[in-house]
Amino acid sequence: MNTLELVFYLFAFIVVLSAMGVVFSRKLMYSAFSLLFTFFGVAGLYAVLNADFLAVVQIMIYVGGILVLIIFGVMLTSKVTGVDIVSGGTGKTLYIGSTVVSAAMLFFLTYLYNTVNWHLPEVTKYSETSLDAIGNLLLTKYVLTFLVAAILLLIAFIGAALIARKGN
């Protein structure tokens, strides 16, 4: 096992462990911080797989935008920070059902992993990164779509600020 595979498995372990923290944590803030590590782990997986643009977008959009918004929303809502998360149904039936479904998925994925003939093409070397190709497409072929999306996001941000201001 080379170093790159070891780093990949380390990030995969971080993603799975922190995703379990999101699901199984009873405190909302602990779930939000576990989600932070999940997003960073996914960005690390993208970086290991040479998808540098996706890694940067993962950090900027999900960690920098969505997760910060979730954490501020939880922190600014004073009645939510100390509340335990409770799902519908009884505790034992939820754990038993989720354990059965998880075990079935584990066996199914293990079966697929061991029986599928994984044909991997030869690795080719690219002279440019994915960021170069995406940047060229965004500034040539898809420039109008990119600008419309940027203006739409700006309008949504201004609308959210106006709604927040009217609430105070």
Same domain, 152 and 109: no
DSSP string, 10-72: HHHHHHHHHHHHHHH-SBHHHHHHHHHHHHHHHHHHHHHTT-HHHHHHIIIIIIIIIIHHHHH
Q: Does residue 111 lie in a domain region?
A: yes
Structural domain total, the chain: 3
Same domain, 72 and 106: no
Same domain, 102 and 134: no
Domain that holds residue 159: 128-168
Same domain, 63 and 98: no
pLDDT score for 38? 93
pLDDT along the chain (168 residues), means of 10: 90 94 85 89 91 84 79 67 56 78 92 83 66 80 84 81 67
pLDDT score for 111? 92
Same domain, 159 and 143: yes
Same domain, 57 and 93: no
Q: Does residue 165 lie in a domain region?
A: yes
